[in-house]
């Protein structure tokens, strides 16, 4: 072992690795064993990425050198304790991104740290690169739960630069490399969404290939007949689809299916990473897109105006915290407490119309609705005297009137000075002109 590697390996005897079974984390596992001379415990979280990714992980991890393997089904916890709280905050990053990847990282890190504590591991490790947001999200969560934990981030330590180096390393160490055609982009999937980036998508002018999309059909191929879906909410959370109560994970999975079949939830954007660079991301979030619109429809009936506006004023801050990896921060927790209180009365039903990629609210109802037609009607009524509006307007116009009066007074004072200055300039110009004429006559 080289001197540098010996120094790195000091004090590391057991590492819990966030393991996906893919090329990167398989190479990382063998590299950790070789470089640190430590035991590696593999941890995989099932957050809805699909059986294709979960199946065979245990066998492959042991074959690559894992001492132990933990696979946890976190789908219900993911939706209940992470996705739904974020939806209550109405958080959308940079006006477009529903934060599907960002919200998954703190849960994976939390479960990983729980295993590290149980197994008395010295360190944790992940496969995030040194250029992206995920390294920040994982490690901020690690340190929030254990300020003394050792973090091993191989992409910031080893000399390997890309996929070709990883494949060569895997072949040298007998790590099985799937014989599949390399996709011209990378993807990451969970129950809330799937993301695509890199490769051919790095050109922001290039249209993504239709074959890339996984959760949705193209709007052109979506049914010619609209689909209607009713979503029930209770205390701020979605609880039913078309009158049938479902668990959080099953509800989201069903809406993904319904939305995807109608071409709903595709997003193509250039976003600002926390580390400072811009990157292009393409996302499919069919269920989340439906829920976002449906929840706002019920909120419009049940939330007080000022409470709704206050929550919305905090939504972007909340979204930035989630995107940047501050899920376990005191400020996010404080915002969550306020948001949960603000949305506790959001109970009702929204009817959504899905048609060729679009989602429209076509109905909403709530038993405790704050909307009363007899208050807002333009017909003659007995609950609101229109004359009352005059005093309301005058009180609210007071500061505008005062500002206008001050501006007009200042303008009046400035006007004589401006006229005097203009006259002075005019006289000066006349004197200069006369002098010029006189000088010209003298030269003759």
Alpha-carbon distance 264 to 267, whole Å? 9
Nearest CA to 256 among 215, 314, 297, 303?
Answer: 215
Reduced to 3 states (helix: H, G, I; strand: E, B; else coil), residue 225 is: coil
Whether 315 is catalytic: no
Residues 100/347, Cβ–Cβ less than 8 Å:
no
Torsion of CA 357, 363, 367, 371, to 10 degrees: 110
285: tokens are 């979030």
Distances (CA, A) of 373 to 172, 319, 330: 74, 35, 42
Distances (CA, A) of 82 to 47, 106, 128, 137, 247: 11, 9, 21, 14, 14
Q: Which residues contact 405 (CB under 8 A, 6 or more apart)?
A: none
Alpha-carbon distance 158 to 11, whole Å? 19
Whether 340 is catalytic: no
Question: What are the phi and psi torsion angles at 418 (to 5°)?
Answer: -65, -40
269 membership: H or E segment, kind and range: strand 266-272
Alpha-carbon distance 316 to 308, whole Å? 14
Helix spans in 203-285 (H): 248-261
Which residue is catalytic, options 20, 90, 134, 195?
Answer: 134
Which residue is catalytic, options 20, 24, 88, 295?
Answer: 24
Which residue is catalytic, options 105, 137, 266, 311?
Answer: 105
Which residue is catalytic, options 14, 58, 122, 186?
Answer: 186
Alpha-carbon distance 396 to 403, whole Å? 13
216-251 burial code (b ≥16 CB/10 A, e <16): bbeeeebeeeeeebbbbbeebbbbebeeeebebbbb
Reduced to 3 states (helix: H, G, I; strand: E, B; else coil), residue 386 is: coil
Whether 385 is catalytic: no
- Indicate the burial class of 45 (C-beta count within 10 angstroms; 0-12, 13-18, 19 or more): buried
Distances (CA, A) of 120 to 13, 70, 108: 10, 14, 18
Whether 105 is catalytic: yes
Residues belonging to the active site: 24, 105, 134, 186
């Amino acid at each position: 072992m080289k001197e540098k590697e010996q120094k790195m390996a000091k004090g590391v005897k057991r590492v819990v690795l966030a393991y996906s079974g893919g090329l990167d984390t398989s190479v990382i596992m063998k590299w950790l064993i070789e470089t640190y001379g430590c035991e590696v415990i593999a941890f995989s979280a099932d957050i809805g990425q699909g059986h294709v990714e979960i199946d065979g992980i245990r066998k492959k991890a042991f074959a690559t050198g894992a001492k132990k393997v933990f696979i946890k089904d976190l789908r219900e916890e993911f939706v209940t304790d992470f996705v739904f709280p974020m939806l209550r905050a109405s958080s959308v990053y940079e006006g477009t991104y529903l934060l599907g990847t960002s919200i998954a990282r703190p849960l994976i890190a939390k479960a990983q740290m729980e295993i590290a504590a149980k197994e008395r591991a010295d360190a944790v490790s992940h496969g995030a690169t040194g250029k992206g947001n995920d390294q920040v999200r994982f490690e901020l969560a690690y340190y929030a739960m254990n300020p003394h934990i050792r973090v091993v981030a191989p992409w910031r330590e080893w000399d390997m630069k890309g996929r070709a180096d990883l494949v060569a390393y895997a072949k040298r160490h007998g790590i099985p490399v799937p014989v599949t055609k390399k996709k011209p982009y990378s993807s990451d999937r969970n129950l809330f969404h799937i993301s695509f980036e890199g490769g051919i998508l790095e050109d922001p002018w290039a249209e993504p290939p239709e074959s890339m999309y996984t959760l949705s059909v193209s709007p052109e191929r979506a049914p010619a007949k609209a689909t209607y879906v009713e979503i029930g909410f209770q205390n701020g959370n979605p609880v039913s689809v078309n009158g049938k109560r479902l668990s959080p994970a099953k509800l989201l999975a069903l809406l993904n299916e319904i939305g995807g079949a109608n071409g709903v939830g595709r997003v193509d954007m250039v976003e600002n990473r926390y580390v400072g660079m811009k990157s292009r991301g393409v996302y499919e979030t069919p269920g989340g897109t439906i829920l976002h619109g449906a929840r706002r429809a019920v909120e419009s009936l049940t939330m007080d105006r000022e409470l709704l506006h206050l929550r919305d004023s905090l939504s972007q801050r909340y979204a930035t915290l989630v995107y940047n990896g501050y899920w376990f921060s005191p400020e996010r927790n404080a915002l969550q407490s306020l948001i949960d209180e603000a949305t506790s009365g959001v109970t009702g039903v929204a009817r959504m119309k899905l048609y060729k990629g679009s989602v429209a609210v076509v109905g909403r109802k709530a038993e405790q609705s704050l909307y009363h037609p007899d208050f807002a009607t333009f017909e003659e009524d007995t609950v609101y005297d229109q004359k009352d509006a005059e005093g309301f307007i005058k009180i609210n116009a007071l500061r505008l009137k005062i500002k206008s009066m001050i501006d007009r007074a200042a303008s009046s004072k400035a006007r004589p000075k401006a006229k005097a200055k203009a006259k002075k300039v005019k006289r000066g110009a006349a004197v200069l002109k006369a002098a010029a004429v006189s000088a010209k006559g003298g030269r003759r």
